[in-house]
Chain A
Amino acid sequence: MLTIAAIALAGCATTASDQEIASKATAILKQSFKPAGQAGLDRLEQDDAQRICSAAAGKPVSREAAAEIEKANLATIRYPADGKLVGDWRNGEKLAQEGRGKQFSDDPRGPVGGNCYACHELTKSELAFGTIGPSLYQYGKARGQSADVQRYTFGKIYNSEAFAACSNMPRFGYKGILSEQQIKDLTALLLDPASPVNQ
């Protein structure tokens, strides 16, 4: 097992000069940013997932690395103590529309949104949706509302990399972007039969 991993690593080992460039890039990065508003230089400190996904440079990471990332991130998900995973879809819709939050230009007191429409189609009434992520229109209608679907949906919003290593989607719960209640409300936007997502 260890041997296989070692071979896999060797297979995508970087050349010496590439490593030089990489360390140069890290040094340059640190000198090229300054703290502003709520965004300190700590935001340039990468965790394992960020580091491994960056090094892949847009290509898929190895199966082993992906499994490691997913396992580590799955362990971070905190499900609500009250066991209720589905909140208010109306507030979820507002959060899906809200693009502000965590930028150095944003008020640290909020609002902070999920900005879901930036990347996903969600409802038929909002034409201005992005396509970086898949369409989520009729997400709940297609999947139902079983306990498993609720857990997956809440968990995916909480930490997307638990299910897809190097996902483009932010880890809203794990990184403290959205509160537990806000994630419940987004879960409701996706799953509630009354939500415009499921019309």
Chain B
Amino acid sequence: MDGGRRAILRSAGQATLVALAAAAGLIKPEDARAEGWNKSAFDARSLGEALKGLAAGEPAQSKDIAFVQTPEIAENGAVVPIGVASALAKTEAIAILIEKNPNTLAAVFDIAPGTEAAVFTRVKMAQTSNVYALVKADGRYYIASKEIKVTLGGCGG
């Protein structure tokens, strides 16, 4: 698994540098207001755009991010329980992204020092989709994913 991944990653190394340069220009100045809302990230309509909006660049796949109390099948897309826990040291933020939703980014949580890097919430899913958990830890970005199937329950009427 590791060796295979490294091989893929090496071949993608050049593309990474290009993307890095692009991303560098997208870093946004600190919002002066106490309560900021990252419009560009929430308006994003794809995973790539949302990651850009979050200035997350190209996050690394991580096994230290786990979906907890998150079922693989949702009985109803209006309420899908999602729990994300990060075992990465100095986790500063956790974001939930849903690939096939009209807007990819669902939520971002800033984790204060002393707060456990685990959040539980519920999101809407328009259809069966990969759900991504993006974690910022010690200044770096990591990602994990899980497919959640959305089914049609009830009497169909």
Contact = CB atoms under 8 A, between A and B. Distances in A.
B156 interface: yes
A28 interface: no
Nearest to B75: A128
B157 A100 contact: yes
A50 B152 CA distance: 30
Given A127-B151, A128-B151, A117 B157 contact: no
B151 A115 contact: no
Interface string B136-157: 0000000000000101110111
- Size bracket of the A interface: 10 to 19
Interface residues of B, number: 7
A97 B153 CA distance: 12
Contacts of B149: 127
A118 B156 CA distance: 7
B155 A99 contact: yes
A19 interface: no
B155 A128 contact: no
A128 B151 CA distance: 6
A99 B156 contact: yes
Interface in A49-103: 97-100, 103
Nearest to A100: B157
A128 B157 CA distance: 14
A125 to B, nearest CB: 12
A178 to B, nearest CB: 15
A113 B157 CA distance: 10
A127 B151 CA distance: 8
Interface string A9-44: 000000000000000000000000000000000000
Nearest to A118: B156
B73 to A, nearest CB: 8
A103 B155 CA distance: 12
Nearest to B156: A99
A37 to B, nearest CB: 13
Nearest to A102: B157
Contacts of A97: 156
A103 B153 CA distance: 18
B94 to A, nearest CB: 30
Interface in B102-157: 149, 151-153, 155-157
Interface of B: 149, 151-153, 155-157
9 contacts: A97-B156, A99-B155, A100-B156, A100-B157, A103-B157, A105-B157, A115-B157, A128-B152, A128-B153
